[in-house]
Amino acid sequence: MNDKFNTLKNYARRLTSKPGVYCMINRKEDVIYVGKAKNLKKRVISYFTSVNSGGKKQAILKETHSISITITRTEREALILENTLIKKYRPKFNVLLKDSKSYPYIEVNNTHQFPRFSFHRGKKDLKKAEYYGPYPNVSAVRNTLSQLQKVFLLRNCDESFFNNRSRPCLQFQIKRCSGPCVGLVTKEEYQFNVNQALDYLKGNDQSIIEKFIGKMDQSSAQQDYEKAGFYRDQISSLKVIQSHQFVDGANRIDADAIALTESSGMFCISVLFLRKGQILGSRSFYPQKTNMADAQEVIESFLMQYYTMYQPPKEILLNIKLENLRLLQEALSDELKTKVIIKHSVKSYRKKWLEISASNSIESLKSKLASKASIAAQLYELTEIISHDKFVQNIECFDVSHFMGDKCVASCVAFNREGFNKQGYRRFNISGINKGNDYAAMSQALSRHYSRSLKESRLLPDIILVDGGKGQINIAISVFKDLGIIGIPILGIAKGPNRQLKEDRIFINKNKSPLSMANNSPAKFLIQSIRDEAHRFAITGHRNKKRKKLLTSDIQSIEGIGPNKKKDLLKQFGGIQEIKRASVEDLMTVRGINNNLANKIYNHFNAN
C-alpha cells in the first residue's frame, strides 16, 4: 500500500500546472473517478496531503492504482471534457444523472396545406416540421393539444386517415375540428387558425384575442351571426385557459426553475418548466452515487449532464448559489453554441417559481424516502421469513401467458431496493413446445434467460419467483441444476381455490407446506405485487402478438392479397379499422388494387 501511495504521489508531483482533466483508475483498468482542475498538479497532489483523514478523496485514493491526465487550454474546456468522460465511463465516485426518458414535444407539420399539430418524441425532422417544447411529461402535451383543438379546431388525424375521408369524423361533430379533410373549411381560414395556434404556443395570447375580436366584429357587421358567435366562443375559451395559467404578463420568459433538496443522504433536483411565462409542469431527478458528494458538486454535475442532453431555455434559475457560476455558464455556452444564463438571486415571479420548484423537490424527496423505507421493510421481512443468509435486494419473477396454448409468451420482471427495474424486464416468444404446456414454457424461459446471464457474467438475483406452485418450482430447480446454479431460493406463488389474494399460497424450494404469512404481511404484499407485474407484462406481450397475428391473417386471407399489397393497404389507410370502413372507390386508390380486388376486400369486411 505504501509503495503504491508513494508511486502515485511522486507522479502527482511531476504533473503540469496547466488546466485539464484527471482520471483515477483501479486495478481492473476501470475509471472510478473523473475530475477537472484549473491546476492539475495542485489538484491531484491534494489527494495525498491528509492521508489519515476520511472523506471522498481518501476513498477514491484507496482504490486508485493509476492516474491519467488530459491537458486542456482552459478550465472551461476541462469542465466540458470532464462531463464527456463521466457520461462515457460512468465512474463509481462521480455524481451521475439517471434519465433515460426523452422529452415530448408538439410537432407542427408545416409542409402540409392543412398542418397537423401532434405529439412527438424522439428525433426531430426540422426540414418538415416545427417543434414546440420540451414539455415535462405526456400529460402536459396532451392537455395543450386538447386546448388547441377546442379553440382553433385543428385536425389531429394522421395523413392516411385525412387523405381517405369521404365524410367528416366524430371530431367535427363534437366541434373539435373544422373538417379540412372534406372541404368544410378553406385553406385560408384553416391557415388563419394555424397561425393563431402558433401564436398561442409562442405565448402571444393577447394578440390572438385581439384578432378574434376583430373577426367577430367583422362577421357581426356582415350579419354573419353564426360565425360571430363562433369567434365569441373562441375568445371565451382562451380567457378560461388564461385564468388557469400562472403567467408573468410583463415578461413571458422561457426558464427552468431548479431546486435542490437533501435529506438522509439523498438528493432530489426538481425542474419547473416555464415557457412564455406559463408553467408547463415539473420533473424530479435523483442523482446517483452522491453519498460522498456535497450540494455544489451535485448541482454542477446535474447542470452539465442535463443541459448537454437537452437544449436549455434562455434562463436557468437556481435555489442555491454556485461557486463556479461563471465557469458553468461559459462551458455550457461553448458546448451548446448558445448563450446560457444562470441566476440565483431573483425577485418577483422568478422567486415564486423557485419557491414552487423547492416545494416540489421537498415533497418528491419525502415521497421517495417513504417509498424506499417501505420497500426496505418488505425486503427485510422477506429475508427473515425465508431465513436467507444475506439481505434480499434483487428479485426476478417469471410468468407465462397464452390463449388456449396459442401465441405463448413468457415474461421476466426485475425488482430491487429502488422498486421495479425496467431495464431488467425481458419477454420470451416460446416455440417448439406442445400447446398449453406451461411447464415446458417456463423451462424454456428460465433456461434462455439464465444461460445468457451466465454467459455474460451478469449478477444473479437473490431470489427467483415463479407464478405457480410446486410444479413450477420443480421446473426451475431442474433448470438451475442443469445450469450449475446453486444457493438461490426459488419461490412459487399459487392461487387459492377461489383465486382471491388472501388465499394465495407461497412455497419455497421443495418444501411441501407453504410459508406462514399473514394476509397483511408486507412481504406477502411485495411478492403479490411482483407477481402481478410479471403477469401484466406477459399479457401485454401476448396481446401484442395476438393482435399482429389477427391483423395479418385478416387481410392476407383475402384471395389476391399478399404481403406487398397488405403493406400498401396499411400504409395508405393507417390500420385495419380504416380498411374496413373504406369504400370500393377508396380501395382502388391503392397501387395494384383493381375494381375486382377492391370488391373482394369490401365484401370480405362488409359481408352482412
499 and 400 within one domain: yes
Residues contacting 421, CB < 8 A, separation 6+: 414, 415
Show the 3-state SS of 390-433. CCCCCEEEEEEEEECCEEEEEEEEEEECCEECHHHCEEEECCCC
Average pLDDT value for residue range 429-434: 84
Show the 3-state SS of 262-290. EECCEEEEEEEEEECCEEEEEEEECCECC
Please indicate, yes or no, if residue 384 is contained in any of the structural domains: no
Closest Cα to residue 164, out of 579, 604, 555?
Answer: 579
Grid cell of 211 as nine digits? 384578432
Query: Does residue 134 have a cis bond before it (omega within 30 degrees)?
Result: yes
Please indicate, yes or no, if residue 381 is contained in any of the structural domains: no
Q: Is 506 helix (H, G, I), strand (E, B) or coil?
A: strand
Average pLDDT value for residue range 151-176: 81
Please indicate, yes or no, if residue 383 is contained in any of the structural domains: no
Q: How does 86-112 read in b/e, with b if 16+ C-beta sit within 10 Å?
A: bbebebbbbbbbebeeebbbbbbbeee
Of the two residues 515 and 202, the one the predictor is more confident about is 515
326 and 353 within one domain: yes
- Reply yes or no on whether the pLDDT at 491 is more than 90: yes
| Domain region containing 214 | 104-243
Please indicate, yes or no, if residue 167 is contained in any of the structural domains: yes
- Reply yes or no on whether the pLDDT at 147 is more than 60: yes
Number of residues assigned to the chain:
608
Of the two residues 364 and 465, the one the predictor is more confident about is 465
Structural domain total, the chain: 5
What pLDDT does 344 receive?
A: 87
Determine the Cα angle at 95 with ends 57 and 7, to 5°.
Answer: 30
| Gap between the Cα atoms of 293 and 261, Å rounded | 13
Q: Which of 163-167, 184-188, 413-417, 496-500 has the lowest mean pLDDT?
A: 496-500
542 and 402 within one domain: yes
Please indicate, yes or no, if residue 94 is contained in any of the structural domains: no
What pLDDT does 578 receive?
A: 76
What pLDDT does 206 receive?
A: 60
Helices (H), 90-166: 138-152, 159-163
- Model confidence at 217, pLDDT cuts 50, 70, 90, reads confident
What pLDDT does 406 receive?
A: 67
pLDDT above 90 as % of the chain: 17
* Contact (CB, 8 A) for 344 and 325: yes
Angle at which helix 187-201 crosses helix 138-152, to 10 degrees, equals 140
Residues contacting 584, CB < 8 A, separation 6+: 595, 598, 599, 602
What pLDDT does 553 receive?
A: 52
| Gap between the Cα atoms of 566 and 560, Å rounded | 10
What pLDDT does 227 receive?
A: 66
Of the two residues 570 and 74, the one the predictor is more confident about is 74
Closest Cα to residue 256, out of 337, 316, 303, 203?
Answer: 316
| 54-74 pLDDT tens trace | 578 888 888 888 888 898 888
The number of beta carbons lying within 10 Å of the beta carbon of residue 468 is: 22
CATH of the domain at 591: 1.10.150.20
Closest Cα to residue 576, out of 556, 597, 599?
Answer: 556
66 and 147 within one domain: no
Grid cell of 495 as nine digits? 392461487
Helices (H), 158-204: 159-163, 170-173, 187-201
Please indicate, yes or no, if residue 273 is contained in any of the structural domains: yes
- Model confidence at 584, pLDDT cuts 50, 70, 90, reads confident
